[in-house]
């Protein structure tokens, strides 16, 4: 019975030797402690920042990540996790979280007019819909600065009170009062005349709540020296979740889509919406809303055609050149191959910009030099613009296909081709029955990946045509060369200032599903090629 005891003791000794460094307060442990302290500090700051903007999902995720990091790096038995945890964290933040957040936004109305939460929207509507109090009550105003923020300071019942937009007036301990005005306040700086002039627009548009109860009104100023009391004309009742117009008596209720509406569908004055879930409404718009469905169908067809033609043309040209320059009888193969792959050495976006200049109708090299001063609108006519996009993409993409096909051709066994020649097979029969099938087995996955890349080839479209030619001055409608991914960019409103992130993310998910389905089908066909071989 002594052997098991001895074995157990030896295993314990080895285990203690392995984990002994974790128990020592040596330099290594001190360094780890300092690094983890910095990581914890960054994590706590991230949690606080997310808490201040009321982003509870991010708060929860940050707390979990901080706890997991501390458990892993201070636990004695988590040595493997110490190495993979950083990669897993970055994978979660930059891949999983982004995908989940994109999916979340697709089921909301997040966009222009619906970019804040409900409480902020109510506060803004109450602030925007107000009028001067009939009593004409005013207070002497002192303008204070704290960091980049401007604060109102007034004396109410002999007490100095300070507030700003979104932060009701509150008492400030240690503030100095001179007559009926605030002379100074700890932590704040009294604004000079120059500061007031520099911030005049911001100051005159401010509305500072008198108290947490919105019914008590807000303070505003038109001259920076006197604060006037404004009473809200829209009052929110939390119990019934309604807004009431005190002048007309109209009651506005939550319509479930991020807005307040009256019984007849009317909007309150200075209407402000908020973010909320809308279910599958964004996806339904892609197929039922005529203003979206028709452009979506047109762009989808062009996207499929563009991706297919891009792959087909670049592959055929690359294969043809590879066959020509793979002949052992051709001299200077290396030199010619270097020349052929030069377009691949230039940044794609820069090449697209150069081609955009070359295809300029009035000043481009193509019209003025190559075509003797012709007036061809390469990028202004919808069909010519499509042709130009495919041609430029051919110039950019054929070197890649040339390299791939050259490598695949050189990998075909020479004895197989020799046997075919001995059997009397013609060059065309050798190419059709041996070269092409073996070539497809090698390059088919690359063709699929190239199709997926061109399906989302935003850089070329954006740099060469900007998605144009556009439909008049309406920048929200897809242009003649817009593909789905550039349509997402246009719908997202990056350039036109009218974003609809919910619809844009729904469209991006549809693109993901389409590309995934096409890739899955293509890979299945590729396996059939391998079985035939």
User: What does each of the 533 residues of the chain score in pLDDT, given as a tens digit?
Assistant: 444 555 666 665 655 555 554 456 678 788 888 989 999 999 999 899 888 877 788 888 889 989 999 988 888 777 888 889 889 888 988 888 889 889 999 999 999 889 998 988 988 888 788 888 888 878 999 999 998 899 999 998 889 999 998 889 999 999 999 888 999 999 999 999 888 988 898 999 898 999 888 778 889 998 889 999 998 888 888 899 999 998 899 999 999 999 999 999 999 988 999 999 999 999 999 989 888 888 899 999 999 999 999 999 999 999 999 998 887 777 777 788 888 888 888 888 889 999 999 999 999 999 999 998 899 999 999 999 999 999 999 999 999 999 999 888 888 888 888 888 888 888 888 888 888 888 888 888 889 899 999 999 999 999 999 888 876 555 557 889 999 999 998 888 877 778 899 999 999 999 999 988 988 888 787 776 555 55
Task: Give, in degrees to the nearest 5, the angle at Cα 97 between 96 and 100.
Answer: 85
Contact 247/238 with Cβ under 8 angstroms? no
Q: For residue 307, which of 522, 478, 524 has the smallest C-alpha distance?
A: 522
Tell me if the bond preceding 469 is cis, omega within 30° of 0: yes
- Which of 2.40.50.100, 3.40.50.700, 1.10.1660.10, 1.10.3720.10 would CATH assign to domain 287-532? 1.10.3720.10
pLDDT (0 to 100) of residue 144: 94
CA distance 53 to 275: 14
pLDDT (0 to 100) of residue 141: 94
pLDDT (0 to 100) of residue 44: 92
H or E element in which residue 218 lies: strand 218-220
pLDDT (0 to 100) of residue 529: 59
Tell me the C-alpha to C-alpha distance, in Å, between residue 148 and each of 144, 188, 194.
10, 11, 15
Tell me the C-alpha to C-alpha distance, in Å, between residue 37 and each of 33, 50, 224, 434.
6, 20, 47, 64
Whole-model pTM: value is 0.77
Contact 511/455 with Cβ under 8 angstroms? yes
Residues 6+ apart with CB under 8 A from 421: 430
CA distance 74 to 88: 18
Domain ranges of the chain: 17-106, 119-261, 287-532
Tokens 């038109």 correspond to 222
pLDDT (0 to 100) of residue 170: 93
pLDDT (0 to 100) of residue 2: 46
Biggest alpha carbon–alpha carbon distance for the chain: 113
CA distance 99 to 106: 11
pLDDT (0 to 100) of residue 335: 83
pLDDT (0 to 100) of residue 119: 87
CA of residue 440 relative to chain centroid, distance:
36
pLDDT (0 to 100) of residue 1: 45
CA distance 130 to 267: 16
Rg (CA), the chain: 34
């Amino acid at each position: 019975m002594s052997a098991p005891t001895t074995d157990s003791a030896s295993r314990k000794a080895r285990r203690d030797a392995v984990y002994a460094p974790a128990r020592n307060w040596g330099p290594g442990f001190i360094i780890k402690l300092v690094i983890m302290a910095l990581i914890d500090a960054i994590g706590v700051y991230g949690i606080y920042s997310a808490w201040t903007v009321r982003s509870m999902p991010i708060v929860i995720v940050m707390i979990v990540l901080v706890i997991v990091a501390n458990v892993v790096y201070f636990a004695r038995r988590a040595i493997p996790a110490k190495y993979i945890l950083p990669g897993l964290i970055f994978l979660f933040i930059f891949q999983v979280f982004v995908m989940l957040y994109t999916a979340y936004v697709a089921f909301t109305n997040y966009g222009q007019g619906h970019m804040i939460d409900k409480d902020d929207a109510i506060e803004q509507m109450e602030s925007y819909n107000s009028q001067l109090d009939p009593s004409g009550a005013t207070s002497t105003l002192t303008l204070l600065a704290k960091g980049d923020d401007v604060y109102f300071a007034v004396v109410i019942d002999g007490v100095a009170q300070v507030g700003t937009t979104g932060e009701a007036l509150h008492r400030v301990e240690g503030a100095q009062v001179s007559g009926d005005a605030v002379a100074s306040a700890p932590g704040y700086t009294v604004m000079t005349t120059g500061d007031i002039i520099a911030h005049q627009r911001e100051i005159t548009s401010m509305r500072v709540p008198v108290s947490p109860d919105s019914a008590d009104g807000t303070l505003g100023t038109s001259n920076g020296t006197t604060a006037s009391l404004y009473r809200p004309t829209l009052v929110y009742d939390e119990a019934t979740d309604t807004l009431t117009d005190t002048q007309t008596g109209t009651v506005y209720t939550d319509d479930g889509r991020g807005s307040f509406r009256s019984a007849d569908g009317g909007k309150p004055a200075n209407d402000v919406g908020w973010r909320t879930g809308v279910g599958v409404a964004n996806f339904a718009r892609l197929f039922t809303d005529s203003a979206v469905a028709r452009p979506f169908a047109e762009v989808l067809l062009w996207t499929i055609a563009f991706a297919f033609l891009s792959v087909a043309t670049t592959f055929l040209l690359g294969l043809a050149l590879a066959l020509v320059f793979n002949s052992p009888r051709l001299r200077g193969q290396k030199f010619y191959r270097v020349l052929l792959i030069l377009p691949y050495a230039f940044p794609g976006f820069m090449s697209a910009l150069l081609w955009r200049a070359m295809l300029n109708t009035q000043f481009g090299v193509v019209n003025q030099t190559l075509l003797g001063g012709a007036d061809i609108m390469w990028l202004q006519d919808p069909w010519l613009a499509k042709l130009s996009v495919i041609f430029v993409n051919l110039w950019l993409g054929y070197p890649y296909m040339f390299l791939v096909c050259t490598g695949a051709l050189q990998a075909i066994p020479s004895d197989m081709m020799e046997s075919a020649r001995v059997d009397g097979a013609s060059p065309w029969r050798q190419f059709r029955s041996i070269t092409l099938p073996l070539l497809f087995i090698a390059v088919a996955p690359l063709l699929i990946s190239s199709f997926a890349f061109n399906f989302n080839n935003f850089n070329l479209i954006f740099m060469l045509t900007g998605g144009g030619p556009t439909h008049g001055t309406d920048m929200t409608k897809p242009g003649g060369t817009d593909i789905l991914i550039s349509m997402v960019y246009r719908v997202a409103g990056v350039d036109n200032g009218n974003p609809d992130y919910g619809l844009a993310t729904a469209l991006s998910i549809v693109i993901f599903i389409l590309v995934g389905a096409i890739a899955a089908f293509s890979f299945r066909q590729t396996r059939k090629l391998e079985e035939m071989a």
